[in-house]
Structure formats: structure tokens, C-alpha cells
Amino acid sequence: MAIMAVQSASNLDGMLLRIKLQRVERRRKLRAFTLVLPLLLLNLIAFVSPIGRMMFNAIHDDTLLTLMPRTTAALSAWDGKDLPSESAYAALAEDLKQAWAQKTSGVIGTRINYELPGASGEVASSARQASTLSAAPYKAALIEISPLWGQRGVWSLLKRGHSAYTAYYLLRSVDYQYGPDSRIVASPPEYAVFRDVFLRTLGISVGVTAATLLLGFPVAYLLARLPLMTSNMLMIMVVLPFWTSGLVRTTAWVILLQEHGLINDMLMALHIISQPAALIYNRIGTVITMTYIQLPFTLLPIYSVMKTISPSYIRAARSLGAGPFYAFWKVYFPQSLPGIAAGCLLTFIVCLGYYLTPALVGGPRDQMVASFVAYYTNEELNWGMASALGAILLAATLLLYYVYNKLVGVDQLKLG
Amino acid sequence: MAPFAYSSPIEAVWHYLHRLICGAVLLFLIAPILVIIPLSFNSVPFFTYPMPGLSLRWYEEFFLTSRWQGALYNSIFIAVLVTLLSTVLGTLAALGLSRPNFPWRTAVMSLLISPMIVPVVIKAVAVYFFYADIGLLNSYTGLILAHTTMATPYVVIAVTATLIGFDHSLTRAAAGLGAPPITIFFKVTLPLIVPGMISGSLFAFLTSFDEVVIALFIAGAEVRTLPRVMFSGIREQISPTITAAATVLILFSVVMLTSTELLRRRSQRLRGIRDT
């Protein structure tokens, strides 16, 4: 009895201690979390949620649903084969009257115009004239006002507008769109520009990545094998541009590559060319400047991996009879591959999102996806398209970063 | 490294060719920055050498005309506030994250670093839509907030780096000796993480000071920052004042680079890591 009592008392003590420890532990975790909380909240509110909303904008568009509620509702029973019945036209007339009164016909016209180019003027004039219509039959009257309402395309568009979600923007981003019967068809060639833009973005990024590797690899190799003092001195030449603002570096190349800039002057003074070469506002200028900006990004990870390769491996290979190139290729190069992968992947990812440099040193045919995101946001005010293109760019970037993280670890992102 | 005595002639040729290539690439890296500096002292508005004479007229224009001066003030004002905010928030977060067994550490860390990863145009568009909704377009607050989210990852990374290998028994010893948490922070933790905080805050400053894309999207006529004025200057008609502005920015980078390098060495010395 007595022994059991002692045992249960010590059990109780142990339990109490465990609970106490757990409580302390929990409080510690809570305190650690409290320290992170302010930044976490800021990031969630001012960064994550805006980006989430942008992604949402790519598939969400309730313009037609809210501004033409009667028409979109009336069409839910429409089979899409012939023109809809008189009741749908009556709903349309009501919606157009309301749009005219509330001055929203412009917004509706713009939305319809995205999918049916040239329709925005028709919608505006229809709204104005529909406001004078008073009695049935509306069908003939509306088709009289604008032949637009006699086309099946606009009706299937309005029917799709019954849902607040649309795949239209994402489809357009890969050069597809809805046909008059709501089936997905390829965009007509004059609007099918985006596949080209994506391919161009990929092409420029691959080219720039390859160029930085070609230029960066020999330098990293040299810097990794020089005595520390010398390599540190030379490293300044790599790190200083890395630290200088991208805008300043782009400015430098704008000045260098101009028609009467330094490079043309030099080439002409050396009699290599007789007339100024076109170096800026084209692909050459874009690739040169991007390569210049990205070179340290590729070089530094390669360098830091090469730093860890012991020179004795090469010496061992040589002493065993390998030729210099064989020893390099079979012994040194494979060990530097992680650095090459990290550097190239990082540069490639950064290149995909380039906006500033193509905008300043590229021509209209050198603009990448990011430029079109900006164009649709600032010039066209077509936020759905901007969001869809942005969402695709973001998805590609995040996917590649996931790979990068698996390969290298984001923690390894160096500051300089 | 000289070619070995036993190396073949081909190897020797290759050795010098390699040096030559490296020299050319290093020149490619540094020359554009060095070339632009003398041009800012050119007495005539052209961008070619030889320069007919030296003058400070572009610096005069940069520092004394309201267009550039206002932009410089705006940029400094915004960058200073961004630096303060992001240093405080980033340091707190790094301290929390480096506590042992922090819950979901990797996920939270990736989330906090993500602003560094997302392409700047995406950030700009997303923030533009967001601010259009809540009426923060064309405001200092908006720009400062946007820059702060961009700058905090650098502070988090820099401070976390100084906390790697942080000996938690130091704080426990201080606590055991009766020091309250505040004293522990200021007397034990802070001196150890100050180098990271400073290099992180320098990065934060530079991030805001150089940032142009977000400023282009969300800042209106009143909130003109220096990079924005430079951007439109390059786009419209390029004036040599831009070279003066660029030189000032390059000087900035040099100062920052030197100070972070010195700080890094100091931090390693403090933590007893030998510079290898």
C-alpha cells in the first residue's frame, strides 16, 4: 500500500513536471512566433494577398454578370444553336437601357470588345438607341439598331458571362479563344502573338544563360585557383557591378551602344566598320546588356563551388597519366557541375522576369512576357490579360524556384 | 599560377589564352561602370571620348535643379523609412525564426523570402491592383509599404546568417544570472547580430533607393523617385545629367560594398570564425 502510494505520488510529480515542461515549451514557441508575426502579417497583407488577387483576376471576371444580369440569366436556357428568343432580346433591351442610364455601357462594350474586336462602338450606340425603345418586339428592333445582335458569337459570349469565372484570359495567353459556338479554337493569326512572346522570352533567357556560363566559367575557374589576395582583388571587379543598381548598369550600356556611342566610335576608329552599327533597340543590345547584368549571378555560385574543389584531385589525375584536358574534363568539371546548375538556374529564372532592360535597350520585337504584363496593366487597362500573363510567368518562376530549392536551397541565396 | 615546368607547349599557350579570356571578361564587367564616371565631368553634352574639357555642370544640374533635387530627396526619405521599418521587422522575424524548434520554420522562411523571388513586374502589377482598391496609389505610404516588403528578405537573410551557430547558452547564462529579457537582448544578443543588421539594412536601403519598376507603376507625379526620373530621362532624351546621377549611385554602391565587407569580417571575428 505504502509503496503504491509513493509510486503514484512520483507518477503524479512526473506528470505535473511533464505538463509544466510542455507549458513552458508552448510558451516559448508562442514567444518565438510573436517575434515573427509582425513581418508575417505585413507580408500576408501587402504581398501575398495582392498576388493571390492578381492570380484570381486571371480567371475571375463578373463584368457581364453584374452589368447585364437580366440577359445573362435569360440565356441560361438558350441551347446556343439559333439566335435566342424574344425574351432574351427583351432582357437585353432592359440591360442596355439600364447601362445607358448608369453610364456603364462603356465598360460592357470594352469587355465584349476583348472577345469580339470592334464591338465596343456597336454596344455604345445600341445602348443609346435602346434607351428610346419602349415596346416589343425587341428582337427585330435591336438587330435593326446593330447587326451585332444578330450574331451568335455575342450571344454565346453573354451566355458565358453568366458565370463569374472565365478561362478566356488564360486561353488568350496561349493563343486560344472561344469560337461563336463557345468551343475553344485557335486565335486568328493577327491576335495570336503570345506563344511567340513566350518562345522569345525562353529564347532570350536561354541565350543569356548560355552566354553568362561561357563568359563566367573561365573567370570562376581562374579566381578559384589564384592565391587568395589576388583573387580577392579581382573579385572586386565581379562584385562591384553586382552591387551597382541595374538601372545604372543599363544606363551605361545605353550610352555605350548608342549610334554615336563609344563602341561604334571605337569600331569606326579601328576601321572595323565604316558606318555606325545598329547595336541598340534590337536583340543584340538586349542580349549584351542582360548578359552583362546576369554575369555575376552565374559566376558567383560556380566560384563558390569551385572554391571547395581541392587542387590535389587534378594533380592526382595528372600523376596517374591523364592529359591536362582529360584531367580537367573527367575530374574537375564534374565536381563543378552543382555550381553550374545553381548559377545557370538562378540566371535563367531571373531572366524570365526581365522588364527594365528590354524596355530601355530593346526594340518592340525584343519585349518579353513581363513587358506585356506591364503593357496590359498601364496602356490597355485590360487587367484580366495582365493577370493571366502574370499568373503564367509567376507559375513558371515558382516551379523553377522549387527545383532550385531542391537542388541548392533558397537559404544559399548569397547577398554578394 | 605559372604553368608547371612539365607542361607541354600547348598547355602553356592554353594557360595564357585562358588568362587573356579572363582579362577580357573582367574588363567587360568593370569597363561600363568606369567609362560612365568620367563622362559625367564632360563639358559638352555628348557621350564620347576624347572630352573637350572638364566641368561640373551636370552635377550642378543634378544637385541644384528642382527636378532632380526633389527626386533625390524623395528617394532618400523613402529609403530611410523603408530601412528603419524593414530592419526592425526583419530582425525581429530572424530572431524568432532562429529560436530552437520554431514551428513550420521552412514554410514561414520561404514565405518571408518570397518577395525576393517573385519577378518585380508581378509584384508591381499585384500591388497596383491592390492599391487601386484601397486608394494608396500615388502616395508615400504606398511606396514605402511596397518597398518594405521587398527589402525585408535581405534583412531576414543577413541577420539569420549571423545567428547561425548562435550559442543559446549565452542568453541562458545571462538569464540564470538574473538579467531580465530586455537586458539580455541589448547586452548579449544585439552586439552579436549588429553586423548582420547593418549589412541587411544597407541592402534594404539600396533595394528601395534603386527600385524603379514598382515606382513606375504606383507612384504618381508627386512621388517621383530618383530612379524614376532617370528612367524617363533615358527613355525621352538622354541628358548627361543622367551620368552624374549614375556616378552618385555608383559611389553609393562602393560605399555600401566596402562597409558590408568590413562588417562581415568584424562579425566573423566576433564569432570566432577564422577568415579562410
B156/A39 touch (CB, cutoff 8 Å), yes or no: yes
Q: What is the pLDDT of residue A271?
A: 87
Of the pLDDT bands very low, low, confident and very high (cuts 50, 70, 90), residue A130 is confident
Number of domains in chain B: 1
Q: What is the pLDDT of residue A5?
A: 59
Q: Which residue has the cell 439559333?
A: A82
What are A1-34's pLDDT values in tens digits? Answer: 555 556 666 778 888 899 999 998 888 888 888 9
Q: What is the pLDDT of residue A410?
A: 53
Least confident interval from A52-56, A72-76, A405-409, B1-5: B1-5
A254/B97 touch (CB, cutoff 8 Å), yes or no: no
B127 neighbors B116 (Cβ within 8 angstroms)? no
List chain A residues with CB under 8 Å of B145: 42, 46
User: Which of B96, B122, B203 is nearest residue A415 as measured by Cβ atoms?
Assistant: B203
Q: What is the pLDDT of residue B170?
A: 87
Q: What is the mean pLDDT of residues A307-320?
A: 90
User: Which of A29, A36, A51 is nearest residue B93 as measured by Cβ atoms?
Assistant: A36
Least confident interval from B25-34, B87-96, B251-260: B251-260
Q: Is A194-412 a domain of CATH 3.90.1150.10?
A: no
B157/A413 touch (CB, cutoff 8 Å), yes or no: yes
> When comparing pLDDT for A140 and B275, which is higher?
A140
Q: What is the mean pLDDT of residues A297-316?
A: 91
Considering only the C-alpha atoms of chain B, give the largest distance between any 2 of them, rounded to a whole number of Å.
73
What are A217-262's pLDDT values in tens digits? Answer: 999 999 998 998 898 889 989 989 988 888 999 999 998 998 888 8
pLDDT at B273 over 60: no
Q: Which residues pair with A60 in a beta bridge?
A: A165
Nearest CA in chain A to B203: A415
Nearest CA in chain B to A292: B29
Please work out, in degrees rounded to the nearest 5, the angle formed at the alpha carbon of residue A124 by the alpha carbons of A123 and A127.
85
Of A202, A347, A363, residue with least CA distance to A285? A363
In a domain, B50, yes or no: no
Q: What is the mean pLDDT of residues B217-237?
A: 86
Q: What is the pLDDT of residue A133?
A: 81
Kindly state the cell numbers that stand for B176: 540564470
Of the pLDDT bands very low, low, confident and very high (cuts 50, 70, 90), residue B258 is confident
User: Which of A262, A390, A394 is nearest residue B35 as measured by Cβ atoms?
Assistant: A262
Kindly state the cell numbers that stand for A39: 513581418
pLDDT at A337 over 50: yes
Of the pLDDT bands very low, low, confident and very high (cuts 50, 70, 90), residue B276 is very low
Kindly state the cell numbers that stand for A205: 533567357
Q: What is the pLDDT of residue B123?
A: 95
Domain ranges of chain A: 1-48, 63-186, 194-412
B197 neighbors B188 (Cβ within 8 angstroms)? no
B89: domain CATH number?
Answer: 1.10.3720.10
Q: What is the pLDDT of residue A83?
A: 86
Q: Tally Cβ neighbours within 10 Å of residue B124.
A: 25
Q: What is the mean pLDDT of residues A258-282?
A: 88
User: A137 in the Ramachandran plot: left (φ > 0), alpha (ψ -120 to 50) or beta?
Assistant: beta
List chain B residues with CB under 8 Å of A416: 257, 260
Q: What is the pLDDT of residue B50?
A: 78
pLDDT at A118 over 70: yes
B36/A411 touch (CB, cutoff 8 Å), yes or no: no
Of the pLDDT bands very low, low, confident and very high (cuts 50, 70, 90), residue A414 is very low
Q: What is the pLDDT of residue B6?
A: 61
Q: What is the pLDDT of residue B261?
A: 81
Q: Which residues pair with B54 in a beta bridge?
A: B42
Of the pLDDT bands very low, low, confident and very high (cuts 50, 70, 90), residue B122 is very high
B40 neighbors B244 (Cβ within 8 angstroms)? yes
> Which range in A137-146, A185-194, B147-156, B227-236 is most confidently predicted, on average pLDDT?
B147-156
Nearest CA in chain A to B7: A324
Q: What is the pLDDT of residue A29?
A: 87
Q: What is the mean pLDDT of residues B58-64?
A: 89
Q: What is the pLDDT of residue B45?
A: 81
Give, in order, the Cα–Cα distances in Å from A45 to each of B95, B131, B143: 21, 12, 15
Of B267, B148, B264, residue with least CA distance to B205? B148
Percent of chain B exceeding pLDDT 70 equals: 95
Q: What is the pLDDT of residue A2?
A: 55
In a domain, B220, yes or no: yes
Kindly state the cell numbers that stand for A217: 566559367
Q: What torsion do the CA atoms of B136, A375, A124, A189 make, to the nearest 10 degrees?
A: -160
List chain A residues with CB under 8 Å of B18: 218, 221-222
Of the pLDDT bands very low, low, confident and very high (cuts 50, 70, 90), residue A360 is very high
pLDDT at A115 over 70: yes
pLDDT at A412 over 70: no
Mutating which of B16, B21, B25 best tests the A interface, going by the most A Cβ atoms within 10 A?
Answer: B25
Kindly state the cell numbers that stand for B153: 528578405
Q: Tally Cβ neighbours within 10 Å of residue A278.
A: 13
A249 neighbors A292 (Cβ within 8 angstroms)? yes
Query: Structural domain of residue B264, as residue ranges?
Result: 65-270
A336 neighbors A363 (Cβ within 8 angstroms)? no
Mutating which of A245, A263, A354 best tests the B interface, going by the most B Cβ atoms within 10 A?
Answer: A245
The 8-class DSSP code of residue A189 comes to T
Q: What is the pLDDT of residue B48?
A: 75
Q: What is the mean pLDDT of residues B210-230?
A: 89
pLDDT at B192 over 90: no
Q: What is the pLDDT of residue A375?
A: 94
pLDDT at A209 over 80: yes
Q: Which residue has the cell 517573385?
A: B118
Neighbour-count burial of A321, counting CB atoms closer than 10 A to its CB (0-12 exposed, 13-18 middle, 19+ buried): exposed
For residue A137, cis peptide bond before it (omega within 30 degrees of 0): yes
In a domain, B43, yes or no: no
B49/A262 touch (CB, cutoff 8 Å), yes or no: yes
List chain A residues with CB under 8 Å of B203: 415
H or E element in which residue A56 lies: helix A49-57
Q: What is the pLDDT of residue B2?
A: 47
pLDDT at A152 over 70: yes
Q: How far apart are CA B257 and CA B264, in angstroms?
A: 11
**3-state helix/strand/coil string of A233-250:** HHHHHHHHHHHCCHHHHH
Nearest CA in chain B to A44: B111
For A119-275, where are the alpha helices, taking DSSP H only?
119-130, 138-145, 152-160, 168-173, 194-225, 228-243, 246-257, 262-269
pLDDT at B275 over 50: no
Of the pLDDT bands very low, low, confident and very high (cuts 50, 70, 90), residue A192 is confident
3-state DSSP call for residue A176? strand
In a domain, B56, yes or no: no
Least confident interval from A4-13, A159-168, B258-267: A4-13
Q: What is the pLDDT of residue A9?
A: 67
Q: What is the pLDDT of residue A415?
A: 42
Of A199, A177, A201, A181, residue with least CA distance to A189? A177
Q: Which residue has the cell 523571388?
A: B117
pLDDT at B111 over 50: yes
User: Which of B108, B129, B158 is nearest residue A383 as measured by Cβ atoms?
Assistant: B129
Kindly state the cell numbers that stand for A198: 513566350
Percent of chain A exceeding pLDDT 90 equals: 49
Of A21, A25, A38, residue with least CA distance to B96? A38
Kindly state the cell numbers that stand for A271: 576601321
Smallest Cα distance from A174 to chain B, Å: 18
User: Which of A215, A245, A255 is nearest residue B25 as measured by Cβ atoms?
Assistant: A215
Mutating which of B42, B121, B248 best tests the A interface, going by the most A Cβ atoms within 10 A?
Answer: B121
Nearest CA in chain B to A255: B47
Q: How far apart are CA A348 and CA A345, in angstroms?
A: 5
Burial B64-75 (b: 16+ CB within 10 A, else e): eeeebeebbebb
